[in-house]
Structures are given as C-alpha cells and as structure tokens.
Structure 1
Amino acid sequence: MIDMERRDRALDFRWCVPAELLWAAGIPDTNDKLYDQARRSIYAAACIAADEAPFGDAWWISYSRRKAFYEGQQRYQGLPYTYERVTAAVAEGVALGLLEEQRAAPGAHLAKDPRQSRFRATRDLLSSFQDSPFEYRRRPCHLVVRGDDGRPVTPPPTQALDRMTKQVGRINAYLQGSSLTLGTGDGWEHGTRTVRARSERRSRSGRPAGWATVTPEPVAEVCRIFSRSRTDKGGRLYGWWQQLPKARRKECLINGELVIEPDFSALHPTLLYAMRGHVLRHDPYVTGTYSRDDGKLALNVALNARTLHEAAACLVHNPDWGHGLDYTWGCLKAVQKRNPAIAKDIGADKGIDLMRVDSGMAIDVLSVCEKAGIPALPVHDSFMVPASQGARVEGIMDEILTRTVNKLRSYKSTTNR
C-alpha cells in the first residue's frame, strides 16, 4: 500500500531543466520537442521538491495515470502536458535511475482516502542538476476554474470569462513593475532555487511554527482561482510571495523600498453584515468569555464550513486551536451570540461567496494603485506596498471597502422591497 503523505506536491510545468544539460545525466536525445519539454519539466519539478526538504524526507510529486485526468489540462499546463508524454517521461526517468516511482492501484483516486501515483528525484538526478539554474515558463492561463475535487476544469467560453481573463492579464502586466527583493540575515536561508523563511508565529503550545520554503519566480504574477466549477465562487488572486510568513514579508523590498502591508480588518464579517443590511460597529471576535484570538479563529473557520459540526471538527483538528470539543462548541455558540445579525451564516458555507467579493475588491485596489503609479502585491485581504505609499493605499482600501459595503447594503434593501 502506498502511504500518500499530505505533503505530496501536484505536478506543474512552470520550470524546466535546460536542454543542454540533459546529456550530462545520460538522457537520450529525442526529436519530439513537446516530449522533451515534458520530461525536462518533470525533472525540474522533482529537483525543486527535493530542494524544499532534506533528501530522506523529500516531497513526492503526485501525478495521474488516468487518460481522463488530462482532458482539458493543456489549457492550464501547456501543450506538453498529456497522458502519453507525462507517463512516458516518468517511465523513462525511472528506467534511467533518475526518478523513484510509487504507483497507485487503478481506481485508488476514488477511495475514501484518495491516492494517486507519485514520483520523486533520486540522488543521481540531484547530483546531475544540483546547482544548475532552471528555465521558467509562464502559465499558459492565469485564470483557473477548479471543480469540487480541486482539479482544474475547462469552463464554457463566455464573454464574462473572456473579460475576467483579460483583466488578470492587465493586472499581471501592471505587476511586472513591482520588483520584489527578499530579505536576508536571521530568518532567511537562500538556496540555488528555493528560499526558506522562518515564521514568527507560535502554536498554542508555544512551539514555533517553523520554516516556509518557497520557489521565487522571476516575475511577479498572480493566478486567479475560482472554485466549484463556477466563476462566482472564490476567485482570489494567488502569487508565490504569499507563501512567505508575514514577518518575513515585511523584511522584503519593493522597488528598493521597505514593505508595509495594510490590510482590511474583520473583512468577511464586515461584508456579511452588509449583505444582511447592517453595519458592523463592534469587534465580532470579542465574546467576553473566550479570548479574542479563539473567537477570531472560530468565526473565520465557521464561515468557511458547510455546517457547525464541520466547523467544530476543523477546529479540534487544527494544530493552532488546542482545545477540546466542549470548549470548541462553547466558543462557536459564543461567536453566534455575539453576532446575531449573521448567526445563521456561521457554519453555512459563506466563505466561498465572501472570497468572490473580496477578490473583486483586491482587483479594484490594484487598479487604483496602477493608475496612481503605486507598486503593490496582493496577499488576499492585504497588500505589500512601499512604506512611503502605505497611507495612500490605506485610503484607497477604505474607499473601496465603503463603496462595496454600501453596494451590498443597497442590494439587500432593493431585494427586500
């Protein structure tokens, strides 16, 4: 039986081993350029996964051996990403001693504990490309729609989808003007292709959260990701810098200037109150019985859960929670009591809709910053900007929040007539 660890990475084709270096690893030449690109991407992905963890604990890369899995995936990964090329390249790598593979049984992806086949780099592959730079390939598509299983799906072409795709393209063109320089010194470890950054957060037991490992990309780009096969669910912008711990992001430079990161306070509760025709005038996380940190985590988890039972289970199994089931239920009931106007929305799967609203707000903020000539990198409900522009960006965010809240309340008022 294959022990599929949670840390398995998904295969992507954003990096490639340079073609001229393949001979050093004893890899035979081929006239099929697309197959050549596929195997070079697979080797690069395996090396990067190994860079992000010691060899003995190297991350595996999951991939599918089902033909149906690859239908429509070229939209997101490019022409080389096909069943024939991926499976042949993995098999070749295994035969050459460059990859180690574990195959899942047919139908294992449908099991209660879903499994996919996976591979990782061997020491021979790492020794061949240990210090070589890799080629970066931009995503063919920067707007992704995922199904219920998290797998990208191909949405039907519509004018709205075309507009949103072009919108992300304009944002990425603007983001090219933001040059991000990562920090150095204590809390940072820079490798050939990856960077490790220490988090300052601590668990409830007081233990440090550890280190985050990222693979910096040569350009600042975001990918907008929707959920549940719909473009009105989710839609947040994702960039590689978001994986950096917050404390480390503040040590970076944008266009040579130190970073400040203004954010929206209690954004999702604020938006929910507006959707119900109210204005949030209190701290929604303060219950008077439980700590504010507990109230905040409980409310935000519950807003993203389909039911209160699911919210309770998520909290109990969350390493940042550290409380038993009775305490958890008490805290959930307390945040409901604290927020009667939205009590029915707590544990009712509202997070996916709120993300659609806050992603639109993020796009509005970036659009205004672009017109004002302010470099900015989005981090969901906050923005990394030069310290000298922090006050201006806070003003922009306040204006957009006010406009959004008024629009939501106005819509609620209209629908109640």
Structure 2
Amino acid sequence: MLEPDPTDRLHTRHPRTLPKRRKDQPQPITGGLTFKAITAPHGANIAGDLTILGDLLVHPPSDGQGALVYRSTQANSFSGGPVAYRPFKAALEALITLGLVEKITGFYDPRRFDWGDGVVSGQGRASRFRATTSLLGIAADHGVIVGAARDHFRQPPPNRVIVLKAKSGRVGRVKVRGGRLVVPDRPEVWLLGDQVRQIDAFLRGVEITGGSHQGFVRQFEHGDQPGFNWDKGGRLYSTGPGNYQTLSKASRLAMRFDGEQVVEIDIKASYLTILHGKLGVRPEFEADPYDIEGVPREVVKGWLVATFGAEKSLQRWPQEQVRDYATRTGRRLGQDYPVRAVGERLLGRYPVLGSAGEEGLGWPDLMFTESEVVIRTMLALLKDGTPSLPVHDSLIVPASRSRPAVDALRESFKQVLGVEVLVEVTGVH
C-alpha cells in the first residue's frame, strides 16, 4: 500500500471511501479505480487490478499536480498487503510509461549518523509518486474529481486484526520504534481476533457518516519482552488514512450513526484511575482530577502524560510541552512550574503515582487494562444493538443511547478493576 509522504503518502483501496488531507502534510491513499480503456505496454492489463489509482486521486492536488504519496518498493514490504509486489510493480511501471504517474526515486544512506563507539544509523526516503495532469484529466472525464473521490473508494477491512509490536529502543540518541513481530497462530490469539471481528461485523450494519471507519486492528506492545502474555497495549486502532480517530473532537461530534447525532463519553484521568485500581486504592477524585491548586490544569495533565509515558521519575519537561507552553504564554514552562515541584504536588495528592512505571504498572499495562474496559463495554453495547466507536479513552455512541452507554462503561470498570470511574459526556444528549 502507498502512503502519503510525511511530506505525502500512498496506500491501496477498493472502490468507495477515503481520508481527508491535513493542510500541513500529505495523506495516505488506497485506490481502486478502474479505467477500461487503458492497456499497459507488453500486454499487461491495468484495468482490473490497479487499486493503487485510488491512492493517487483521493487527496487534493497541489499546484495543479497530484498529491505526493510514498511507498517502499522493496519486495518484502508487500507481505500480507492487498496488492502483491509483482502486480504492483507491473502496474506502476505501466502508469509511469503511459505518462500518468510521476516517480521520485527514493534513497537510503546507511551511515548518515555516526554516534561513535561503532554506533551508526541511517536515513532515507521512500520512493514518492504523484498523478500527472494527464491522469487528473482522465479522472475528471470519468466524473472523479481529485481530492473529492471519497465516494468512489473504500479500503477493505484488514485481514489480520491482531498486531504485535516490539519494544522501542535507542540507537545512540535516536529513538527507534519497535517493529512489527510475527503474530503466532494460537488459540488465545484466535479469541482476541474473534472479538475484533465481532465488533466490526456489527458496525458494518451501521451507516457511519461524517467520519471513515473500515475496520479495527488490536495492537499489542512489547511482544519481544520476557513474560509477554498478550497483556501489554491492546488498543483498537481504526485502519486507513483519514479514519475517524484522526479527526478533531468537534469533527467527531458531527458524525452520525444511521443518521442520528452522536455524543462522546470520555473517561476522566483514565490511566490515573487504572493505577489506583491496580494498587487496590479507591480513587478520591473530585469533579476534575486535574484540578490541583496553584498549577494550571494543562500543566498537571502534561506532567501525568509525560510520567506515564516515561515510566520513570520525570526529571525535565518534554520539549514538545515546553514549546507548546511557550507558544501559548510566551513564557518558559520550567521557570514557571519546575518539573520536580509539580511532581511533588501531584505525589502529595495522589501517592499511587510513586508506583507508576513499576513492574506491571507501566504504560503498556495501563493501556491494556483500558483496552479491556473499552472492548468489554463495546461488546455489551452491541448486544442491545448500540453501536460505538472508541477513541482510546473515550467512546462515540448515538446520543439517544448515552445513558445506557455510560452505565455500561462504569460497570465494565467495576468488573475489571473494582473501582468507580468519572466520565464526561460531550455533545447533544
């Protein structure tokens, strides 16, 4: 599948939907448009199998040309994808030969950075592609307007709904994200996959408008670590570029389920609540768990997010939070709110934070518990015909079903952790 290059990107779709393009970066594509009249050189027929065309057409053009999209052209990167390497290569070469697609060849420098002591790391860029003005013209002649082709393309649901990732590491000073691991063919994995398929089978009977959802994968983390037992991570991710999880909350609230308005139910301080439950401590929360006297709410929330993510005592503010604070206030976060002073205030309020990051209490463990609560709630709701879509620590449900959904979420928390949870419902209800 072709992806938008983080400067732009490509994927591979079948007729009927697609993602929105963000202004600051190109978006993925996943095509499935068929042109009966086009035949490739050497007798290779482009017409039935060029699902990549949708990837080239769904995003708004830039400067009169198609959006840049990218994809690794290495054969091993096509394993398990909707299009095999050889058909992809033949179709793409034909499109380039016909002058319908432009290719910008990628590169890789394996020794781009030398950190000393024999540690080196590389840098490169995948090959990028874009529709030429000729292809844009042919599409327009067939009633397909580039950048507004969502109604013509639909990405098929994923074949493999369980994803397993290795733990991230570092090469020198560079963080290297954990890669995908082979998912074993075992009964426990079958059961996990059956849950995901059951949810998606139900959702296929619901008309979802205002946001795209083609199917879920459930992604587990730290699969290469000793003692891994399918209890790390486990969030549901909606697949495909431009899916509803990538939308702003305001845009998500404009979605409709079978024409009905929706609300979003947020779990307040999800990880903090779960940490209390795992330690057998009843959360003593007020209406807003982030309300700490003398410290702005966004600073409190930022410290908690960084602490849970770091899995260790926070020694300095993350650079992203420093930049965001400076942008909002014109001031320096570390001077206004020293990280250690904020930490002391929060540890005084919530002593359980001293255990964050310990064995069984790291972010993958908290995420797994959160995912179990969310999935348990979704399965309970679908039994009475209520659709729901998760956004990590929140659920989107029909407005008319907000009360039963809140009750189901609270009950799931009690069953999994034995604690009460605070929720907030946003939207008309």
TM-score range, shorter chain: 0.7 to 0.9
**SS in structure 2 opposite 1:261?**
strand
Q: Which residue of 2 aligns with 1:342?
A: 353
Q: Which residue of 2 aligns with 1:379?
A: 391
Q: Is the 8 A contact 1:290 1:331 kept in 2?
A: no
**SS in structure 2 opposite 1:251?**
coil
Q: Which residue of 2 aligns with 1:142?
A: 161
Q: Is the 8 A contact 2:108 2:125 kept in 1?
A: no
**SS in structure 2 opposite 1:383?**
strand
Cα distance in 1 for partners of 2:289, 2:372 equals 23
Cα distance in 1 for partners of 2:66, 2:354 equals 44
**SS in structure 2 opposite 1:157?**
coil
Matched, 1:265 2:277: no
Q: Is the 8 A contact 1:315 1:328 kept in 2?
A: no
Q: Deviations over 1:169-214 (max 9, x none)?
A: 11111212322232xxxxxxxxxxxxxxxxxxxxxxxxxxxxxxx7
Q: Deviations over 1:252-283 (max 9, x none)?
A: 22122211112211111111122233222135
Matched, 1:89 2:91: yes
Q: Deviations over 1:234-269 (max 9, x none)?
A: 221123222222112222221222111122111111
Query: Structure 1 pair 41/369, CA: closer, same or farther in 2 (3 Å)?
Result: same
1:127 equivalent among 107, 130, 137? 137
2:202 equivalent among 174, 184, 189? 174
Q: Which residue of 1 aligns with 2:319?
A: 313
Q: Is the 8 A contact 1:304 1:347 kept in 2?
A: no
Q: Deviations over 1:33-88 (max 9, x none)?
A: 9x962xx222211222x33x645696533322334434xx31xx23x232x34344
Deviation at 1:369, TM superposition (A): 0.3
**SS in structure 1 opposite 2:107?**
coil
More off after superposition, 88-97 vs 238-247: 88-97
Matched, 1:297 2:302: yes
Q: Is the 8 A contact 1:276 1:342 kept in 2?
A: no
Cα distance in 2 for partners of 1:43, 1:367 equals 36
**SS in structure 1 opposite 2:51?**
helix
Deviation at 1:98, TM superposition (A): 2.2
What is the identity, as a one-letter code, of the residue corresponding to 2:37?
A: W
Cα distance in 2 for partners of 1:343, 1:336 equals 10
TM-score normalised by structure 2 residue count: 0.71
Cα distance in 1 for partners of 2:187, 2:234 equals 17
Query: Structure 1 pair 29/237, CA: closer, same or farther in 2 (3 Å)?
Result: farther
**SS in structure 2 opposite 1:353?**
helix
Write 1 or 2 for the structure with the bigger share of helix: 1
Q: Deviations over 1:323-345 (max 9, x none)?
A: 63524872464145313321352
Q: Is the 8 A contact 1:376 1:385 kept in 2?
A: yes
Matched, 1:365 2:365: no
Q: Is the 8 A contact 1:303 1:347 kept in 2?
A: no
Cα distance in 2 for partners of 1:138, 1:385 equals 21
1:224 equivalent among 218, 224, 248? 218
Provide the aligned C-alpha RMSD in A: 3.5
Equivalent residue runs for 1:19-30 within 5 Å: 19=34, 21-23=35-37, 27=40
Matched, 1:118 2:128: yes
Deviation at 1:164, TM superposition (A): 0.9
Cα distance in 1 for partners of 2:290, 2:124 equals 36
More off after superposition, 264-273 vs 141-150: 141-150
Cα distance in 2 for partners of 1:156, 1:281 equals 42
Cα distance in 2 for partners of 1:90, 1:364 equals 44
- Structure 1 residue runs without a partner (length 5+): 183-213, 409-417
Query: Structure 1 pair 41/347, CA: closer, same or farther in 2 (3 Å)?
Result: farther
Cα distance in 1 for partners of 2:299, 2:155 equals 42
Q: Which residue of 2 aligns with 1:202?
A: none
